[in-house]
Chain A
Amino acid sequence: MTELNAEMKRELAAVRRRQASSVILMYGVLLSIATVLMGTFLFALMASIKKDPLEQPFQFWFEQINPVNWGTAWKLGRQGGQDAWWGGFGPGGDVTFYLSYAAPTTVELEDPQIEVPRRAPGTGMAAAVYRDFAADHLANFQVTREDGPNFEVTNELGVAEEWHQARWRVSFEHDNEGPWVERVPLYSLAPLTQVLVDSTLPPTQLERRGRVASWENITPGALGYVFNNYRRVFKESIDLNTGESLFVSWFKNSLFISFGRVALTLLLATTAGYALARLTFPGHRALFFLLLISMMIPVQVTFISNYLVIRDINLLNTPWAVIMVLVVSAQVLIMKQFFESVPREIEEAALMDGAGYFTTFYRIILPMSKPALITITIMAFQGAWNDFFWPLVLINSPTSAFALPVGLLSLRNAYGGAGDWSLILAGAFMSTVPVLILFMVFQRYIVDNPIASGSKE
């Protein structure tokens, strides 16, 4: 009897074990899918703060995500430009930077040739953007040498070698007359026999088999250090005539277009949706049929005439063109479906009381439709913000009039050829911020709403 009981218990435990395992496996599968879907994004996000997103092999641990460097960058930023966050080099700047070289004791440690070079960083328009150079506003530039203790190194052959090292202290001040400069590059040339073993910030680049170490900016500030590529998007894509940041103009244009589209969509979709759902009028069926057809026909079929219409009313190259050109059939359909689900009695009572159709609609129906209104608002905003085709067709010049997605294309054209992907990725990520915020705030309206997502395309 007890034996049978024990047997049953064991079997029960085995079944439980299986249930638990299957839950664990399910989570494993779900997490794997999530990793693939989010991973691509996070991967690219990581790459977007690197100096070279195409580096080979791809490093998961690099200087920009090392907190020690954040602290150093913070300190250097404060020394250079009194700005711990974004750094720079301005009046009152007093910077100290250390470099250590080491070599086997058999060779002499020579003073490296250290200087602040007069050169603009980056590619593309950078040369036209950076006109002030830290090199022109230095004062009291000093390099002093301090010899350090010897140490032992085991070389490739497994033999212990005696090495010696020395540290060079580089210090300089701002001349207090010149302008504020965004960055201070540094350059150090040493003989091949000695190796750079340490420096306040790791060098951005090592060239000529390690003879030349260069720093793009030794006073970056914490944010300036980590988000250098992001800052470059703002600084380096500027309108050369006005000096204004192109990225900022694109961002503003896209915001304007998106808000305009949302307003127009709300107006058209609610009125038409209501009429199609509730009111009988001649042409009702034909209109509905046209609406369905219009959702099927690709925009490339109608864009030529639309381009000409916009040209004829002189709205080409303005955000207004992009706002008005879209036919919001999908949103009308959603509103129609929503209004059909509202009980008729509510408005009939109002109509009986002598309220007009418009009053009923405005005072009674609309206030009840909040969920549907939010849904089409999100759809319209996201659609407008992400829209690429209409801005491409309707806004061609000047560059500062572009919408953000087209702006990204022009960034890619300017920097992709040179292989400068850091700036392109940074731009791409910044362009997604408004939609990300929208997604976070209104998540449940998006994910729980199959109608909205279904007719998005």
Chain B
Amino acid sequence: MNHKIKQQERIAGWLFVTPFCVSLFVFFVYALGRTLVYSFQSFDLFSEATWNGIANYVALLSDPLFALALRHSLAFSIVVTTLQTMLALLLALAANKKVRGQGFFRTVFYFPSILSSAAMTLIFMWLFQRRGVLNQGLGWINEHMGLLLICVVLFMAIQTVQFLMGRRRYQWVRWGDPFHFLVSLLLTAVGTLILAGYGIGVRELSEPVAITWLNTRETWGPLPRTIWAIVAMNIFTTVPTLMLLYLAGLQSIPDSLYEAAELEGASKFQQLRYITWPRLMPVSFTVVTLGIIGTLQMFDQVALLGDAAPLESKITLAYFTYHNAFPPGGTPRIGMASAAALVLAALTLVMVLIQRSVGVGEKTND
């Protein structure tokens, strides 16, 4: 009887997974195997494939474009993963504040994540045009640099004066007192407006800021400026998604921990450092893993740039693969593409493994 049930369950199990298995095997397992085979062959999608040993890998090593793509992919992955993880945590901390309208703020914060990469990339490309809004904004900041500096100094001064005056009356007043902060903000705003009215701290630029963000070969640090623009686009859309993960993590931390810390006299920063951060370790692990996987396969933004940027300043490993498989107006080099694809896969696995071993571990360190 029992045996019969087992037998039935086995058959039912197989039947249930069959549809998914077909999809998984055809479009993943078989595909992965074929990529492996092609990486040792010479093939152009149409004529018969021929074996050529490790020639593709050798060709990869001597291809300067591949070295460039590899460097870009690595740097992009590290930069974006780091930035987006920090920003996602900050955003989650903000969204987790218990205030009225919390739901509204969460919805708005999440909003950038729902849009397609295509729409988002086009919007950002518009922002990043030479005559675009970003350059105009930078120009404005440049013009008002003096005023902005005065503004900061003024704020600090007013805040300090208030602090010294407040200290005389109440011992518990701190420099960052919220009431003083608000007053300083108000006074600074009025002061700045008056100064601006007299034209103090404002200068005329001899020519407008015209940084070429996309169609350029210049590099800043490890990445071409074009990819820095993509970094901005990418972070903008991924941070809200990752914020949700952190939010769930934050909600699972019991309030009693904070209450106890409060009683012990721990500051907000100490609470963040010794309660929130260690408790969020498992979430950070997920966020970083997803970040690495996601950034290494970043493709859409590069492809959507199209002829708006030179190949050398936008290429990544994922795009290198595509570019070799479907070169515009050339013969497909499937062997090269497959070899590069496997390098990409290996890189992903290695980076995830490194991340596992370097601290951002799965366990909470209580």
Interface of A toward B, CB cutoff 8 Å: 11, 14, 17-18, 20-27, 29-30, 33-34, 37-38, 40-41, 43-44, 47, 53-54, 56-58, 267-269, 271-272, 274-276, 279-284, 287, 290-291, 294-309, 324-329, 332, 356-358, 361, 382, 385-386, 388-389, 392-393, 404-406, 408-409, 412-413, 416-417, 421, 424-425, 427-429, 431-432, 435-436, 438-439, 443, 446-447, 449-450, 453-457
Give the residue of B15, B117, B132 whose beta carbon is less than 8 angstroms from that of A386: B117
State the CA gap A20–B34 with chains docked (Å).
65
Bitwise, B107-151 to A at CB < 8 A (1) or not (0) is 111111111111100110111010111001000000000000000
Is there contact, CB below 8 Å, between B28 and A327? yes
Q: Which of B51-59, B60-68, B271-279, B345-353 contacts A (4 or more CB under 8 A)?
A: B345-353
| A-B pairs, 8 with minimum CB distance | A281-B13, A386-B116, A272-B20, A298-B297, A405-B118, A275-B16, A279-B13, A450-B248
Query: Which residues of the other chain, B, contact A30 by a CB distance below 8 angstroms?
Result: 94, 97, 99, 105
Is there contact, CB below 8 Å, between B318 and A300? yes
Q: Indicate whether A358 sits within 8 Å of B12 (C-beta atoms), given known contacts A38-B111, A301-B342.
A: yes
Q: Indicate whether A21 sits within 8 Å of B115 (C-beta atoms), given known contacts A327-B28, A409-B306, A450-B248.
A: no
Q: How far is the CB of A309 from chain B (nearest CB, A)?
A: 6
B193 contacts the other chain (CB 8 A) = no
9 extra interface residue pairs, beta carbon distance < 8 Å, beyond A287-B17, A438-B114 = A14-B170, A17-B179, A268-B20, A268-B23, A271-B16, A298-B293, A327-B28, A386-B118, A405-B119
Give the residue of A40, A304, A306, A357 whose beta carbon is less than 8 angstroms from that of B38: A304
Is there contact, CB below 8 Å, between A431 and B116? yes
Is there contact, CB below 8 Å, between A300 and B299? yes
12 A-B residue pairs with Cβ-Cβ distance under 8 Å, sorted by A, are A26-B97, A30-B99, A287-B21, A295-B293, A305-B30, A324-B27, A409-B118, A412-B125, A412-B308, A428-B122, A435-B116, A446-B110
State the CA gap A438–B345 with chains docked (Å).
34
Bitwise, B59-97 to A at CB < 8 A (1) or not (0) is 000000000000000000000000000000001001001
B29 contacts the other chain (CB 8 A) = yes
Is there contact, CB below 8 Å, between B127 and A279? no
Is there contact, CB below 8 Å, between A428 and B32? no
Give the residue of B27, B132, B182 whose beta carbon is less than 8 angstroms from that of A326: B27
> Which residue of B13, B245, B337 has the most chain A CB atoms within 10 A of its CB atom?
B13
Q: Indicate whether A388 sits within 8 Å of B300 (C-beta atoms), given known contacts A272-B17, A446-B114.
A: yes
State the CA gap A131–B103 with chains docked (Å).
52
B315 contacts the other chain (CB 8 A) = no
> Which residue of B30, B113, B126 has the most chain A CB atoms within 10 A of its CB atom?
B126
Q: Which of B153-161, B198-206, B236-244 contacts A (4 or more CB under 8 A)?
A: B236-244
Give the residue of A53, A275, A450 whose beta carbon is less than 8 angstroms from that of B13: A275
Query: Which residues of the other chain, B, contact A47 by a CB distance below 8 angstroms?
Result: 126, 133
Bitwise, B294-311 to A at CB < 8 A (1) or not (0) is 101101100110111000
Query: Which residues of the other chain, A, contact B152 by a CB distance below 8 angstroms?
Result: none
- Contact-residue bracket for chain B: 35 or more
Q: How far is the CB of B339 from chain A (nearest CB, A)?
A: 11
For A309, the closest partner residue in chain B by CB is B26
B266 contacts the other chain (CB 8 A) = no
Q: Indicate whether A298 sits within 8 Å of B325 (C-beta atoms), given known contacts A40-B236, A357-B16, A432-B119.
A: no
State the CA gap A24–B111 with chains docked (Å).
24
